[in-house]
Every structure is written in structure tokens, then in C-alpha cells.
Amino acid sequence: MSFDPRIAQNRFGYGPGPGFEPPRSVQHMLARLAGPDTQATRFPISGFVDVFGDLQEIRDLTAAFRKARNKGGDAVETTKAARKEKYREMNRKRDAWFLATVARCATAEDAFRERLVRFWADHFTVVGKGPLFQSVVATFPEDVVRPHITGRFADMLRASTTHPVMLHYLDQFASAGEGSKLAMKGKRSLNENLAREILELHTLGVDGSYTQTDVRAFANLLAGFAPGKEGRAAYRPNWGNPGPEVVLGKSYGGQKPRVEDVFEALDDIARHPDTARHIARKLATHFVSDDPDPDLIDALSTSFTDSDGDLMALYGALLNHPAAWAPAQKKIKQPFDYIASAVRALDVSVDTLASLKRKDRNLLFFGPLKLMGQPWERPSGPDGWPEDAAHWITPQGLAARIQWAVSAPSALNAKLPDPRNFVQTALAGQASEATQFAARAAETRWEGIGIILSSPEFQRR
Amino acid sequence: MTKHSSLSRRSFLKNAGVLGCSLAASPLVTPVSLAAAPGDHRLVVIVLRGGMDGLDLVRPVGDPLFAGLRPNLSSADPKLPLTDFYALHPEADKLHALWMAGELAFGQAVSTPYRDKRSHFDGQDILEAGVGAGGAIRDGWLNRLVQTMPDTQLRTALAVGREDLLILSGDATTSGWSPDVTLPLSEASRLLMARVYDGDPLFSSALGEAMDLTDVLRPELLRNADDAPNDPSEVMSDAMMMAKAHRGTTGIATFTAEMLKQDTRIASFSIGGWDTHVGQTSGFKRPLKNLQDAIMTLKTELGPIWGKTTVLAMTEFGRTVRQNGSKGTDHGTGGTVIVAGGAIRGGKIYGDWPGLAEEDLYNRRDLMPTADIRLYAAAAMQGLFNATASQIEGTIFPGLDLSPGLPGIIA
């Protein structure tokens, strides 16, 4: 089993589409990835620093509204309306970023990069809690994942740990070291949430060699981080814990809390053998199989350790392993990927996407994603979306996919392609006999397209 | 359309058989069997999202402080008295009839272990995960209940509605369906689809189950070629029409009842809209109507099976004891659990009343919780499914202290 362009574009990309050349080789895929991030430039999405002013404005409007409410009078309605309008504006931005994300995936030459962005964004899952943060989740992959996607894991871990949306989501902003004055006076207390999830989900893995004592010590070490001014993380030493802290058998810092000690611990945890194993398993599970070949996991783990977490080396190890090219399609496209790959195969124009009205955005994307089990930016917990096929192909999930497949293409594409051609476009030689037959036999174009997009070959990769 | 349904369904099955598709192995043609299902009792858990104000639903009118704390949210002349001390919200007439019939009870001053931050997001997670404060939010307690039960099937536990319910997620296999989903395919397309899925058991069994579930509520959706959708915009408008007709709580409850009559024993769905910060007198009415409709629909549709049914309606937290400046209430702590059904010991208010004096309140603002809400769920699970103490405190609600004793809510 070795490189196959059809497998490459589907399993490691967003599938075939009119005008897209499949990758020529593993080297070709890696070279494109090492090149510039053209899709990010073409379809911009804001970073957190850019939206910080918006969040500040909402805070100010809320304060003004509360003040007006206490005083009574006309200002109650005007401040309320102003805040509502600002929330609307943020929702429009969120929608635009969603469409930019779809466009990036649907039109990418370097589609492996987009898949990796979704993988890492899920690995470091954040959910926007509360009205203030729920519209700005898209800044996280922009700030944390894309800049480090070809760099080192330790750098991405540091960026994730200190991103304001992460600090907010996992309650780090509320955590004060157990020995801090704030905690001693009973004003604040330690919150273990981020520390625990870093060890359990982001690095060592739930089976990793850490204990509750490590979680506690690491939480004490992390205490002090919070979203700061101008949209960047701040470290507040007075919230920190007078150390040192012993995490995984190594002592960090001293009496005076310092940010450098946190970073040192993060770097050590990033290169821990359990982290290598955990990342290896997750990467193999996401791209290749829910039950990946142990030899593939070993190869990835070894690459991670030998290269000190160099991600390009890791991707090379993945793409150069024979198990990556097994013909059997073991993975199910998650709903977002399913829709994005259909948009790509259907050759929906970027202008059409951008000009969709709010109602249509809901009808064509947000509603169906929810029905398929993957509401946009709303995973149920910090462990992200499940990988197993059976989680996605449920009766409701499948019915929702079929419903989308027969109705959405007509709304997105002025002229539907002939199903007999589309079966080649969308499945590029991977169509089964039955699907090819159905493409010829369907009574109408839209039903034919619907059946092709509903076929197992299109939903698997 | 309806008159064609059974015919087209039969012809579909026949044709599917001719095509040799693997639907024969799917639940579509598995005879409904109650014998294999675990027991005869039914449990429905309704998650009330937003923080249902228990003090507005079950009003402690006998407490002399109540009217003063809530001048706009208490009625001097309680229309629907429950006991000497409590009266029901004046719009809750259907619930009152249920109370009179001995099929409704309440647990007062309950809460999850969640304290102080009063976030909906965290509060609901802890309610559905059934864990202690700071516990890992991974799977739901109803799922863990299923894990302890023998002989469960795909349909034993069912999540109803569009959302992915944490309370039912986890390692045990459960079913989920939103009754507003349609399978907008002509008969011919269905046959083609079955053929395309032949040889992929994951897809063919999901399609079979989807067709079967669509059929539970709306057999008319299995169309004849004559009334198949003519174009995709019709598909979309049909889907929207169906969504409209069945999205509501009544649609959800009707479907739930239908499933409980078959193999389902445990079902869950949610009712939102309880976050009544402003103008609660009007804001409380809509979710209350939905809740009443849901419970009454279950009772009506279940018929004799209602006698084997227990409904628990639970919320993430109660609300502040005092009304706020905008005639509403804010996020609080202690609240109320609603227990309904033919299988319960109704007409009774369970739990210890903590009082409304400022020093008796939690943080001088919220009703003081006097019992963990999980004890009520535990009582239901013990009474209905014979869950043992070790299963409850070991698996279903890890670390739950059972020493206060379980309320005797199950008859």
C-alpha cells in the first residue's frame, strides 16, 4: 500500500472537485504545506486581538444598560437596542467566518492544511461560553493553530494554553493559587479545570502517567493567567501560587510566581513520551481509522519524540506509512467536512456562499449541521467531537445528511450537473457499481445528485 | 396521502426484499418485541433549560415572607391550592388536575452539587452528567443507568429532539431521533438508496431505522410515486412544514409516547425558555404551557401505559428568592423537581422546606438546598429499574451520598 492520488485527496483533503488536481505525491503534499498559507489570506478571519474592541464595546453597552435600568427612563430602551445591534453585528461576523471556513476548505489546493487545522482546533477544543465569547471562537484556530501548523507542538500548546478564549472556556481566569493572598483571604480559589484538561486531553492523555497531585500542582503553577488588556493573555503574579510546584516529578519555580516557570513546565509536558503516544493515536484515529494500526501509532510516536514535536516530521511519518494508504475507507466525514466536501464537488461559487441571506445560511448550513449532530462551534465538552463512525451514522444523522443532499445542492447551485457526470466528479473513480447505476437510474437530477452525495463512498474517506 | 401509506410501505418492503438489500437484518422488519425489553416501567426525564423558578411554580404561599419578597410574583388569592402551605402557579391548571388525580408530586429545595457561579452552561452540564462539583463532564447519568441494565437494545433509551443530549451520551448504545426529520425521497429513490447502501451495514441499518422512525409518527411520509416531491425546493418546503408541525413540545411528546409504547423504556428531551430575568409574569407562561402540554400529551398518548410511567422534570438551578428590579428573578441555587406519572406516589410535596428568612437563604439570596436532586433520580431508578445502591453510588452517580435516604416517590 502506497501513495494513491485519489485516496490522498479524499482521506487527507476535502475530496475531488471540478478544476482541482489531486496531489501528485507525498512530497508534493508536504511541499505545499510548507509553503505559504494562501487560503488564510484569500478568506480572512479575525484573530482575537482584532475583536477585542468589539467585546469591550459589548461590556460597555451592558454596563450602560444596567445603569440605565437602575435609573429608569428612555435610556433603558436605547441602550438595550444598541447592545442588541452590537450582538447582531457579532453574529454576522460569526456567520461570515463560518462561510470563510467553508470557502477555505471547498477551494483549497492545499486541502491537507485545512484538514489539519480542523484536527488541531478539535484537539484543543474551545467553546465560547456566554454571549460575549460565543461569537469569537473562530479566532482560536486563527491565532493558535494556523501559525504553528507546520511548527512545533510545544509552541501550539503554549499558544492554546494562553489564548483568551481557552482561558475563559476552562475557567483559568478565575483560578488563584492555593497559597496566594487572594485564596488565603477566601476571596478566590484554585480552579483545576484547564490544568486537568491540558494533561488529560491536550498532552499526556487520560491514560497518561499523571496523578491528581500532578493536576493540583500544575493548576497552582498555571494560576495567574487570564485574558488581559488588548486581547492578549495576562499573567498576574498576585494570583499565582508561591512555589515551587512539583509536576510529573520535576520542580518548577520558586517562592515568587513567574510566567517563565509555567512555560518551562508546558515545554516539558509537550515532549513527554505519553504526549507523543497520545498525539500519535489521535492523529492516526482522525485520518486513517477508528482502530488504527499499532505500527502506524508507533511510527508517529517515534517521529514525535525523535523530532522533539516537529509537526512537519509527524505529517511526513503519517503520509509515508503504508497503513495511511489502505484502500478500505474506514473513516466517516464529520458533518462539517461532509458539507464542505459537497460544496467543493458541486463547484459552488464563493460569491454564492458569501451572498447567502441569514435565513438561507440557517436553512442550508447551521440547521442541517445541528441535525447531523455537529452544531457549529458547539461541541458538548472540551474533548471535542467523537471520532467513531457509529456516532455519526445514526438514523437521525443519516436522515439529516440525505435531507441535505437532496435539497441543498439545488439551492446552492443554479444549474445542477448531470448525475452521470457528477458521479465521476464527486467520487473520482471510487464509485461503487450500485452508485453508478443509481446515478443513471435516478428520475431527476436532484435525486441523482442527492443519492450520489448520500452514498457511502462519498461519506467515507 | 395517508391512505396510501400502508400499501406503499408493503410494496417498498417487498421490493427491497427482491433487491436483496440488507434491510431484512435491520430493525425495520424486526417484530416489535416487548419481552426482550428490560422490565415494564418507563422513565421520562425532561431537562428544563434556563433555570426553572420553582418558587413560581410551587408557591409557598403559607410562608409569611413570600408575598413581600415577590410582590409581583405571588397571588394573594391562590387559585390552585396544593396544601395548606403551597399553591400552584395560577396558569398550571392542567398540572393541578394531575395533582388532584394523585399523579403529580414535587421535591422542594433540591439542587445539583453545583454552587456559586450560576452559569447555565456549567449548571446544565453538571445536571446531565450527574457528577459532583468539579467532576468530569464526559457522559450522562441516564447513559450510565443503561450501562447497568441487562438486556438493553438500541431503542431501550431514546433522546428526542434536535440536540445531542449529554444526559444520554456515553458508552451504552442509545437511540436518538428528532420527529421533525424527514426522508424526502420518492419510492424509486428509496429503492435506489437501499441498493447503494447494500453491503455497508452501518449505512443500511441506519437507513432502515430512520425509515422506521419516520414511519412511527407520520406514515404518510412514505409516499407513493404520485405524491413524491416534484422538485428539491418542494423537498425543502416539505421539510420545513414537517419541522413546523412537529418541532413543538407536543410533537416531541407524541413521538416519545409512541416509542414508549414500543421498546423504549427511558426517554429524554428538553424544554427551554425558563430564564426569566425580566417580566416573569408573562415570561413564565410559555415554558409552563410547553411543560404542561408535554406531560399531558404523554399521559393521553400513553393510555394504560401511563400507569407504568414516571416523568422527572429537572432544571440546572432555581432562581433568586427575591424578585429583581425588572419583575423577574436571577440565577439562584435551590429549586424544585417535578415528578409526574401513573407510577408515582403523588399528591405530595417531598423534601425539607428551608424557609425564606434572609439568614435561612443560601448566600442570603437563594433558596437553601436541603437535598441533592440526584436522590430523586436515584429513587426513580431504584423503584423502576431495580438499580442497586452500589450501582447508584458507584456508577450512575459516582460519589453520591445516599445516607439522607431516597424519597419515596415511586408507588
How does pLDDT run across A130-173, given as a tens digit for each residue?
888 999 999 999 999 999 999 999 999 999 999 999 999 998 99
Shortest distance between the Cα of B299 and any Cα of chain A, in A, equals: 26
Cβ separation B200–A456 shorter than 8 A = yes
The reply to whether residue B181 touches residue A403, judged by beta carbons under 8 angstroms, is yes
B residues 166..205 contacting A (CB < 8 A): 166, 169, 175-178, 181-186, 188-189, 192-193, 195-200, 202-203
* Distance in Å, alpha carbon of A24 to nearest chain B alpha carbon: 30
Has residue A297 been placed in a domain? no
Identity of the amino acid at A77: E
Q: Which residue of B has its CA nearest to A442?
A: B189
Longest CA span, chain B: 75
Find chain B residues with C-beta within 8 A of A130's C-beta.
119, 121
Q: If residue A233 lies in a helix (H) or strand (E), which one and from where to where?
A: strand A233-235
Domain boundary among A241, A270, A299: A270
**Interchain CB contact of B224 with A (< 8 Å):** no
In 3D space, the residue among A231, A218, A297, A199 whose CA is nearest the CA of residue A262 turns out to be: A218
Identify whether residues A145 and A177 lie together within a single domain: no
- At A53, list the grid cell: 474592541
Q: Closest residue of B to A400, CA-based?
A: B181
- Beta bridge partner(s), residue B338: B106, B313
Tell me if chain B has a CB within 8 Å of the CB of A406.
Answer: yes
**CA A176/CA A238 separation, integer angstroms:** 8
Give A383 to chain B, closest Cα distance, Å.
Answer: 8
Check CB contact of A429 with chain B, cutoff 8 Å: no
Nearest to B183 among A399, A409, A455 (CB): A399
Asked if B193's CB is within 8 angstroms of A456's CB, the reply is: no
Q: Per-residue pLDDT tens, chain B, 411 aa: give them.
A: 233 333 333 333 333 333 333 333 333 333 333 333 468 999 999 999 999 999 999 999 999 999 999 999 987 677 899 999 999 999 999 999 999 999 999 999 999 999 987 888 789 999 999 998 777 778 999 999 999 998 888 889 999 987 778 999 988 988 888 887 777 777 788 889 999 999 999 999 999 888 888 776 555 444 443 455 566 766 666 666 666 666 678 889 999 999 999 889 999 999 988 989 888 999 999 999 999 999 999 999 999 999 999 999 999 999 999 998 878 898 999 999 999 999 999 999 999 999 999 999 999 999 999 999 999 999 999 999 999 999 999 999 998 999 999 999 999
Same domain, A170 and A137: no
Interface of B with A in 99-128 (CB under 8 A): 119, 121, 125
Q: Nearest CA of chain A to the CA of B123: how many Å?
A: 12
Given CB atoms, is B264 within the 8 Å cutoff of chain A?
A: no
Give yes or no for A397 touching B (CB within 8 A): yes
HEC secondary structure over chain B = CHHHHHHHHHHHHHHHHHHCCHHHHCHHHCCCCCCCCCCCCEEEEEEECCCCCHHHHEECCCCCCHHHHCCCCCCCCCCEECCCCCEECCCCHHHHHHHHCCCEEEEEEEECCCCCCCCHHHHHHHHHHCCCCCCCCCCCHHHHHHHHCCCCCCCCEEEECCCCCHHHCCCCCCEEECCCCCCCCCHHHHHHHHHHHCCCHHHHHHHHHHHHHHHHHCHHHCCCHHHCCCCHHHHHHHHHHHHHHHHCHHHHHHHHHHHHHCCCCEEEEEECCCCCCCCHHHHCHHHHHHHHHHHHHHHHHHHHHHHHEEEEEEECCCEECCCCCCCCCCECCCEEEEEECCCECCCEEECCCCCCCHHHCECCCECCCCEECHHHHHHHHHHHHCCCHHHHHHHHCCCCCCCCCCCCCEC
Kindly determine whether residue B239 and residue A403, on different chains, have CB atoms separated by under 8 Å. Answer: yes
Give domain limits for chain B: 1-31+185-228, 35-179+238-396
Range B35-179+238-396: architecture per CATH: 3-Layer(aba) Sandwich (3.40)
> Can you tell me the distance from the alpha carbon of A318 to that of A7, in angstroms, rounded to the nearest whole number?
14
Task: Give contacts of A219 with chain B, Cβ < 8 Å.
Answer: none
CB-based contact B183 A446, cutoff 8 Å: no
- Check: CB of residue B274 under 8 Å from CB of residue B48: yes
User: Would the CB atoms of B209 and A395 count as touching at under 8 Å?
Assistant: yes
> Residue A244: is the preceding peptide bond cis (ω within 30°)?
yes
Q: Do A381 and B121 touch (CB under 8 A)?
A: no
- Chain B residues close to A390, C-beta within 8 Å: 202
Tell if the CB–CB gap between B169 and A380 is shorter than 8 Å: yes
* Residues from chain A contacting residue B214 (CB–CB below 8 Å): 399
Interface test with chain A among B117, B202, B241, B246, by most A beta carbons within 10 Å = B202
Mean pLDDT by 10 residues, chain A (461 residues): 94 96 97 97 97 95 92 88 95 97 98 98 94 94 98 98 96 92 89 91 93 94 93 94 95 95 98 98 98 98 98 98 96 98 97 93 92 91 91 92 92 89 93 95 91 97 96
Instruction: Looking at the structure, tell me whether residues A139 and A178 fall in a common domain.
Output: no
In a domain? residue A207: yes
- The three cell numbers of residue A144 are 493558535
Look at residue A6 and tell me if it is in a domain.
no
- Domain co-membership, A136 together with A246: no
| Beta carbons of A297 and A284 less than 8 angstroms apart | yes
Q: Do A441 and B125 touch (CB under 8 A)?
A: no
For residue A370, give the nearest of B121, B162, B207 by CB distance: B162
Among candidates A334, A324, A312, which has minimal Cα distance to A388?
A334
Flag if A380 and B181 touch (Cβ within 8 Å). Answer: no
- A44 and A116 assigned to the same domain: yes
How far, in Å, are B52, B89, B112 from residue B55 at the CA level? 9, 9, 17
Whether residue A305 lies inside any domain: the answer is no
Q: Helix crossing, A294-306 with A311-319: angle to 10°?
A: 150
Mean pLDDT, chain A, as a whole number? 95
> Which residue range forms the structural domain that includes residue A354?
335-459
Contact criterion met (CB < 8 Å) for A438 and B239 = no
> How far, rounded to the nearest angstrom, does the alpha carbon of residue B279 sit from its chain's CA centroid?
26
Rounded to whole angstroms, the Cα distance separating B141 from B129 reads 6
What pLDDT sits at residue B24?
33
B239 touches chain A (CB under 8 A): yes
Query: Which of A270, A303, A320 is a domain's end point?
Result: A270
Rg value, chain A, Cα: 24
In a domain? residue A74: yes
CB contact under 8 A, A410 and B233: yes
How far is residue A261's CA from residue A242's CA, in Å, rounded to a whole number?
12
Q: Quote the CA–CA distance of A249 and B296 in Å, as a whole number.
A: 60
Q: Which residues on B lie below 8 Å from A443 (Cβ)?
A: 186, 188-189
Residue in this structure with the C-alpha cell 464527486, named with its chain if needed: A426
Same domain, A112 and A214: no
Domain total for chain A?
3
- Separation CA A363–CA B162 (nearest Å): 14
Contact B183 A403 (CB under 8 A): yes
Specify whether A227 is located in the same domain as A120. Answer: no
Amino acid at B264: T
* Interchain CB distance below 8 Å, B189 and A395: no
Give the model's pLDDT for residue B30. Answer: 35
Domain stops at, among A151, A176, A201: A151
Which pLDDT does position A186 carry in this prediction? 84
A172 within domain boundaries: yes
Instruction: Report chain B residues whose CB lies below 8 A from the CB of A381.
Output: 125, 137-138, 166
Residue of B nearest to A384 (CA): B138
Q: Check B232 against A363: CB less than 8 A apart.
A: no
Contact status, residue A317 vs residue A287, Cβ threshold 8 Å? no
